[in-house]
Amino acid sequence: MLRLTWVQPEDLLGHELRQAGQDGRDPSAVAARWRAAGGCEAPARAGASSPPASPYLRRLAKELLDELAELPSPLSAVEPTDLEGIRALCPDWPAPAPMPAPTPSAQTSVSRLEAAWLGRAAGCLLGKPVEKLPLKGIRRLARATGNWPPTTYFTARGLPPDLTAAYPWNRRSATTSLAENIDGMPEDDDLDYPLLNLLLLQRHGKAFTTTDVARVWLDELPAGRAFTAERVAYRNLLSGLEPPHTALHHNPFREWIGALIRADAHGWTNPGDPAAAAEQAHRDATLTHTANGVYAAMFAAAALATAATGAHDVHACLRTGLAVVPPASRLAEAVHQAVRLAETYDDFDTVVDELHARHSPAHHWVHAVPNTALIAAALTHADGDFTGSVSRAVSGGWDTDSNGATAGSLAGLLAGAPAALPEHWTAPLKNRLATSVGDFDGTGFDTLAHLTHTEATRPCPRPRPS
């Protein structure tokens, strides 16, 4: 039987109950009705529960999802989703870049962008085989092969059978992402979305609207390659809903990490203009996300735009990222705390343990708040060093491939050139990636850098109203 993940009402409800508690709504009455009827908790790691719910429970789940959507959130004043509301709460919102903005030479810019693409791929690839594994399992697997903290790709060579039985590698990734199996960059949504945004910019320029994002997805993104909030929004589009309602209807994943992993191209194409990068990320993110899910994308885009000039260290980049996040939001609080922890403890495992103690009891492992905090902590603790950044981001668990990708992208920009990245990370990529997006399958990272530079330097009209 086909069990389509991330869209079944009986699976969505448990996640919405958790989301309601996080954003200050009281879901207790709804939760009691669901449990009294025999409803299950949300799947802990998978996208669908087993066995499927009865027709009665599925109908009830739909009704309760609608009921939860009517509950007001007391946090809405400090965690708005509209751009003007966000800007009004950010006293240090970055000033627009001067026109024309000073830019480095084309050769330097392309080289830096190639390092960013390679860094994103390498960080993602490092995290792929351990995605969904518990933190304890990641640590045990790496230590058993003498690779803790991980300074190269994970391997299954030499592992005791009982350890691999207790902590099996991610089944979809082990055959392409363990060191002994890598043959170029395998397909991953963390690379598919930057490619989709490259297509978006090629077709619509930086003045794209959220509706343009939706059109590109419907044209180019196979539905089976979308997950969590993106899959729900895709379904909502096919049901006739339009943005921003696509982010709201029966979408308990609207504050998860999906918008963050789409943010890189917006930062890469706005070097030195973090405000413009954040605004682009906002228009992209609101197709699928709200509040902290949107802030995570804006934070990443602004930090990457700052790093793309080569004129700032990692700490300045992160401070700029925080400047576009409402300061009283849960995301801002989590990132500030993570940076403080990274500045306090020499041992990064201690930082990770503190972050897990704070966030794991309340958050799903794909939620934007803990994952963004971990990325910020990893980059801070490593002082922007490439190997240190991707190693720490992945060693912290949660969404390992996504965190490694974002950390690798920013650290790659800071490194400034492909040759500045250690060869043991980049050589296995063989300058090609696999994807089902557009005509990009097999494309080299050097080509992607040139294409990205073209969009970064194309004159930009004012955005059209959505």
Q: What is the pLDDT of residue 460?
A: 72
pLDDT value of residue 463: 55
Which residues are registered as beta bridge partners of 367? Answer: 256
The closest of 156, 166, 147, 174 to 390, measured between CA atoms, is 147
Alpha carbons 372 and 298: distance in angstroms, whole number? 11
Cα angle, residue 180 at apex, residues 177 and 182 outer, rounded to 5°: 40
Q: Determine the pLDDT at residue 108.
A: 84
CA–CA distance, 246 with 457 (Å, rounded to integer)? 31
Q: Residue 179, CB half-sphere, CA atoms under 13 Å: how many?
A: 14
Residue for token pair 């201690």: 350
Q: What is the chain's pLDDT, residue by residue, as a tens digit (466 residues)?
A: 567 899 999 999 999 999 999 999 999 999 999 999 999 988 888 888 888 889 999 999 999 999 999 999 999 999 999 999 999 999 999 999 886 555 667 888 999 999 999 999 999 999 999 999 999 999 999 999 999 999 999 999 999 999 999 999 998 899 999 999 999 999 999 999 999 999 999 999 999 999 999 999 999 999 999 999 999 999 999 999 999 999 999 999 999 999 999 999 999 999 999 999 999 999 999 999 999 999 999 999 999 999 999 999 999 999 999 999 999 999 999 999 999 999 999 999 999 999 999 999 999 999 999 999 999 999 999 999 999 999 999 999 999 999 999 999 999 999 999 999 999 999 999 999 999 999 999 999 999 999 999 999 998 765 555 5
Measure the CA dihedral 207/118/340/282, to 10°: 10
pLDDT of amino acid 286: 98
Residues, the chain = 466
Bridge partners, residue 433, by sequence:
185
Q: Where is 395: in which H helix or E strand? A: helix 386-395
pLDDT score at 459: 84
CATH value of 83-127+185-457 in 1.10.4080.10, 2.30.30.40, 3.40.50.10490, 3.30.70.1350:
1.10.4080.10
Which residue matches tokens 């954003």? 23
Q: What is the pTM of this model?
A: 0.97
Task: Write out the residue limits of the CATH 1.10.4080.10 domain(s) in the chain.
Answer: 83-127+185-457
**Residues of the chain by 3-state class (helix, strand, coil), percent to 5:** 60, 0, 40
CA-angle at 428, arms to 260 and 134, nearest 5°: 50
Q: Is the peptide bond before 149 cis (omega within 30 degrees of 0)?
A: yes
Q: What is the DSSP string of 201-262?
A: HHHH-TT--HHHHHHHHHHH--GGG--HHHHHHHHHHHTT--TTGGGTTT-TTTTBSTTGGG
**Rounded Cα distance, 336 and 352, in Å:** 14
Give the angle 5-213-61 at the CA atoms, nearest 5°. Answer: 30
8-state DSSP, 323: T
Distances 358 to 18, 78, 129, 338, 464 between C-alpha atoms, Å: 16, 21, 25, 10, 41
Of 19, 20, 21, 12, which is closest to residue 39 (Cα–Cα)? 12
